Structure 1
Amino acid sequence: MSKSLIVFFFFGCVSIGFSQSNPFLFASKQARENLLIKLNDSIINPSAKDFLANRTMNWESYAWATSYIIDDSKQNFSVLEKALKRYNQLSKSDLQKVFESVFACFPNQFVSEMQLIAEDESENHKIFATAINYLAQNKVEVKDLLESKFKNSNHPIIQALRNQFQPDYYPISIADLESILRFNKDKKTKFLYSVQHQDRNKVGKVFIQSESGLLAKENGKAVLIDQLARSATNLPMYITNGNTPVGLFKIDSLHKSENLFIGPTLSFVTFMPFECEASVFYNSPTIDFTLENYLSFFPKELRNNTLLQQTYWAGKAGRSEIHFHGTTIDQSLYIGKEFYPQTPSMGCLCSNEAWDNEGNLMKSDQQKLVDTWMKTPGESGFAYVLELQESDWNELENNLNKY
Structure 2
Amino acid sequence: MRRSKLFIGGLLTMTMIVASAFTSFADNSVVSKTQDNITVTKSAEWTTVDGKSEDSNGNRYAKINFKIDTTKATTEITNTVSKGGDTDIVLILDSSGSMIGNKTTKMKEAANSFVNEVLAIPDVKVNVGVVTFFESSKVLSPLTNSKANLNKAINDLQNNGGTKLAPGVKDANNMLRSSQAKNKFFIILSDGEVFDEAAAQNAITDAFTTNPSLKVITIGYDTDTKAENFLRGISTPTSTGTMFYTADIQSSSIVSDIKGVFEKITEQVTSYVVGNSLVDTIPKEFSIVDGTITTNDTNLVAEVSEDKKTINWNWGDKKLEKKVYEMSVITVLDKAQVPAECKEVFTNGTTIDVTTDSSKSAIFSYGSSKKLYLNSPILSLVANDEVKVEDEKAPMADNADQADAEIDSTPSTGDTLNNMVFVILGVCAVAVIGSGAVMIKNKRRSF
**Structures share fold, TM-score greater than 0.5:** no
Shorter-chain TM-score bucket reads under 0.3
Using the size of structure 2 for normalisation, the TM-score is: 0.24
Which structure has the highest strand share of the two?
A: 2
Q: Which has the higher helix share?
A: 1
